[in-house]
Each structure stands twice: as structure tokens, then as C-alpha cells.
Amino acid sequence: MRYSKTVAIHIPLIIVFLFALIPLTWLVLASVNPAASPAAKIPSRMTMENFGRTFSGRPLHWTLNSLLIAGSTATLVLFLSTMAAYPFSRVRFFGANILLYGLVFLRTVPVSSFMLPIYLIFIKLNLVNTYLSVILTLSVLNIPFALLLLKGFYDTIPTVFEEASWIDGCSRWKSIFRIVLPQCGPGLAVAWFMTFMFAWGEFLIPLILLRKIELMPLSVGIFTTYGEYGVVNYGLLSSMSLLYAIPPILMYILIQKNLVKGMVGYVKG
């Protein structure tokens, strides 16, 4: 490549790189700065003071709430979609296609469209301000993604092994547990982690359903802390935000290579 062309390609890339990274750099610097402010500066004293405070009192409580909500949602969704994806992959049945398109549709509709229906039904059921309401909602909203993902995994597993086991007298359920599921371990793991991530980061659903400060997950907690008492504690908020961002960042590092493949699968359904 000619030198001038190399430069012409790299300059916009470097600008975008900096544009993407500068706000994040501020976040990291502010999290170790006991006297953090919105201003961009290298802290004169770097401490773990802010992080210490995120592991006590309300921030700790919110973290545990987030873990509980995301963990339960991911487990419930995995349980439901592991079963439900199987017929879509292995059996032809009436309405399968319509249901599949329904699931792709549901996966595409933004969460905010369901904000009022979800709130009104849980008011009616008297379940507002319970973890159950949030876990149920996030499960319904994440089933389509996990189900379609797992269907894709099932589709890649040859049916010959199962058929052979049926001839040997294995029941269908047994063949699923003994043959299909062990072969799609990575698929189950990805489905669980992705659902965990969606539930972990969700803001709107817990915002409307959990109106008590001790029930909030981290997302709503961070939002509530911001601007509380008129003074913003940037150090504490930054360290909370950073800890809150760790699971998705880890996830990204783990599946980095498969992300492109996974996303193409996501779009194609």
C-alpha cells in the first residue's frame, strides 16, 4: 500500500479510537480518585477507597439484587428454552413456523413497548415491588433470544445418534438428556451467559417494577445515586459503574472470536 493511503486510512481510525476511549478512560481514572469530578485529570492520589465503599451498605445490596435477578432469569430462561427449542429443531408440527416468526418478532420489539402492559398486569396481580415480577418479565422478554439460539445449536447436531438410541429402546426424553444436551454444552453456556447479561444490564423493567430502594438492582441504584442530595459523588459512582460493567466486558473478552458469528446468527434468527 502507498504510504499516503496508509496514513489516510489510519487517521480516521485513530480519531474514532480516541473518541470511543476518552470517556471510558475518564471512568477508570475517576474510579480510583477519592476526589473525583467530571473534569479529566490524572488523580493526584490513587486509592481503592471508592471500591471499598461499593462493597458495603446499599451498593453491595444492589449488587446482590442484580446477581439474584440476573441469575434467576438466566436459569429460568435456560430451563424453559432448552426444552422448548427441541421440538422446533426435531419435529414438524402444526404452527411451528408461525411460532418461530412470532419469536423473531418478539425479539425485535423494544422493551419500552411492554413497559405499560407489564406494569399494569403486575399492579393487578399485586406483585409490584417483588423480585418475582422482574424475573418473570425479563424471562418472557429473553426467551425468544435463548430459544432461537438453542434451536440453532440443536440444528447442528446430527439426528443419527438419537435415532440409533431409539432403536436400542431409549425414550425420547432420555435421548435428549443423554445425547443431545451433552453435545451442546457450549450452546447452553452461551444462552445462559447472554441472558444473564441482558438481565444484568436491564434498567427500564426494574425501574418501573421495583420502587423501593432496598429492592433495586445496580442499574436503578446507580441512577438513583446520581444527583442524590444535590451532590454527585463521582468517585463512588465511577467505581460502582466499573464493577457493574465487568461482567459484560469479561463476556466480550471470552466470546470475542465468536461474537461476529453469534451476531450474524442473531440477526438471521
Q: Which of residues 45-104 bind other proteins (CB under 8 A)?
A: 80-81, 83-84, 86-87, 91, 93, 101-102, 104
Q: Determine if 120 is a binding residue for other proteins (CB under 8 A).
A: yes
* Residue 32 main-chain phi, psi, to 5 deg: -100, 5
Q: Determine if 14 is a binding residue for other proteins (CB under 8 A).
A: yes
- The answer to whether the CB of 225 falls within 8 A of the CB of 236 is yes
Query: For residue 111, how far is the Cα from the chain centroid?
Result: 13
- Select from 48-56, 150-158, 184-192, 217-225 the region that touches other proteins (CB under 8 A): 217-225
| Smallest distance, other proteins to C-beta of residue 46, A | 18
Q: Closest Cα to residue 53, out of 63, 68, 42, 39?
A: 63
Alpha-helical runs (H) found in 109-184: 115-124, 131-156, 160-167, 172-175, 181-183
Q: Determine if 21 is a binding residue for other proteins (CB under 8 A).
A: yes
Residue nearer to other proteins on the CB measure, 79 or 161: 79
With DSSP H G I counted as helix, E B as strand and the rest as coil, what are the percentages for the chain, rounded to 5? 80, 0, 20
Q: Determine if 268 is a binding residue for other proteins (CB under 8 A).
A: yes
- The answer to whether the CB of 165 falls within 8 A of the CB of 179 is yes
Q: Determine if 39 is a binding residue for other proteins (CB under 8 A).
A: yes
Residue nearer to other proteins on the CB measure, 65 or 219: 219
| Smallest distance, other proteins to C-beta of residue 184, A | 15
Contact residue for other proteins among 191, 222, 235, 236 (CB under 8 A)? 222
Q: In the window 166-195, what residues touch other proteins (CB under 8 A)?
A: 172-173
Other CB atoms closer than 10 Å to residue 55's CB: what's the count? 11
Q: Determine if 204 is a binding residue for other proteins (CB under 8 A).
A: yes
Say which amino acid occupies 109: V
